[in-house]
């Protein structure tokens, strides 16, 4: 039986391109100082489509930590200070208006009503992640929140997920990991959890399916799937 669910954040709870596409354009323009050639180079390095204001399915931004994204930016813009860049990225991202994949407050309340323990494992930094979750009104429903900088490592390693198990007292076999990227699903498999892929990020079903027990359109379908599989 499933007793706990741990979710990725961006692309899972929040629609990835609807949330980050336009914001990213402004960030790239600011970091390149209006230099069109540098902007084009940085967009290409990050897998960003400036015509559509969206990230390509293979973009490093989809599943990587903020630090890893910063390192790619520094390959294009080597004169920048890494810590200052990270501070700007975290400060700016914490203010982004998140587009919820489903109405999250009522969704998490319903999951709690099913007796489930709930957590978040994100490759975002913990502080902005908490601000996003607070604005969505779901923090009171969560047993665990970890970012890549929380001391457990980042995905695809399983450290965050194993910490969720330690925090809740659940075994990995009693938990499911939900995410929109292969990093999420690999982390779930490495932890020994069931895995659910969702299509609210850039990755297509064909990319997620080999590593997921099921791929669903959004997180909304998870309770019905768990009931159908007799996992609740």
Q: What is the DSSP letter of 220?
A: G
Please give the full DSSP string across 27-56, using - where no structure is assigned.
Answer: HHHHHHTT-HHHHHHHHHHHTEETTTTEE-
SS3 string, 111-158, reads HHHCCCEEEEECCCCHHHHHHHHHHHCCHHHCCEEECCCCCCCCCCCC
Instruction: Give the DSSP H/E element, type plus range, for residue 7.
Output: strand 4-7
C-alpha pair distances (Å), 29 with each of 53, 108, 152: 12, 36, 33
pLDDT at 96: 83
Distance (Å, rounded) from C-alpha 45 to C-alpha 42?
5
Whose tokens are 């009522």? That residue is 106
**Count of Cβ atoms closer than 10 Å to residue 75 Cβ:** 10
Q: Residue 94's pLDDT is what?
A: 82
Does the structural domain 4-15+99-228 have CATH classification 2.40.50.100?
no
Residue ranges of the domains in the chain? 4-15+99-228, 17-93
Closest CA relative to residue 20, chosen from 123, 103, 97: 97
Burial 199-228 (b: 16+ CB within 10 A, else e): bbbbbeeebbeebbbbbbebbeebbeebee
* pTM for this predicted structure: 0.87
What values do phi and psi take at 9, rounded to 5? -105, -75
**For every one of its 232 residues, what pLDDT tens digit does the chain have, with 9 covering 90 and above?**
999 999 999 999 999 998 888 889 989 999 999 899 999 999 999 999 999 999 998 899 888 888 999 999 999 999 999 999 999 998 888 888 889 999 999 999 999 999 999 999 999 999 999 999 999 999 999 999 999 999 999 999 999 999 999 999 999 999 999 999 999 999 999 999 999 999 999 999 999 999 999 999 999 999 999 999 999 8
Cis? peptide before 66, omega within 30° of 0: no
Cβ contacts of 192 within 8 Å, gap of 6 or more: 172, 173
Q: Any idea which residue has 């490495």 for tokens? A: 190
Q: Any bridge partners for residue 176, and if so which?
A: 5, 194
Distance CA 172, CA 183 (A): 17
């Amino acid at each position: 039986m499933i007793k706990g669910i741990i979710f990725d954040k961006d692309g899972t709870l929040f629609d990835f391109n609807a949330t980050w596409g336009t914001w990213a354009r402004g960030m790239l323009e600011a970091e390149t100082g209006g230099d069109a050639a540098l902007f084009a180079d940085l967009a290409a390095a990050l897998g960003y489509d400036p015509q559509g204001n969206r990230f390509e399915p293979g973009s490093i931004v989809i599943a990587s930590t903020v630090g890893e994204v910063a390192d790619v930016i520094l390959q294009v813009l080597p004169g920048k200070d890494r810590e200052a860049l990270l501070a700007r990225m975290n400060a700016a991202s914490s203010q982004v208006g998140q587009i919820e994949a489903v109405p999250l407050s009522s969704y998490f309340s319903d999951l709690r009503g099913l007796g489930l323990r709930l957590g978040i494992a994100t490759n975002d930094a913990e502080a902005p992640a908490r601000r996003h979750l607070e604005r969505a009104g779901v923090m009171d429903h969560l047993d665990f929140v970890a970012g890549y900088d929380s001391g457990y490592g980042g995905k695809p390693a399983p450290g965050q997920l194993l910490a969720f198990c330690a925090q809740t007292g659940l075994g990995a076999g009693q938990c499911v990991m939900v995410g929109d990227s292969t990093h999420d699903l690999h982390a779930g498999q490495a932890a020994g959890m069931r895995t659910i892929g969702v299509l609210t990020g850039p990755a297509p079903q064909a990319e997620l399916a080999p590593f997921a027990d099921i791929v669903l359109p959004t997180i909304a379908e998870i309770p019905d799937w768990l009931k159908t599989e007799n996992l609740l």
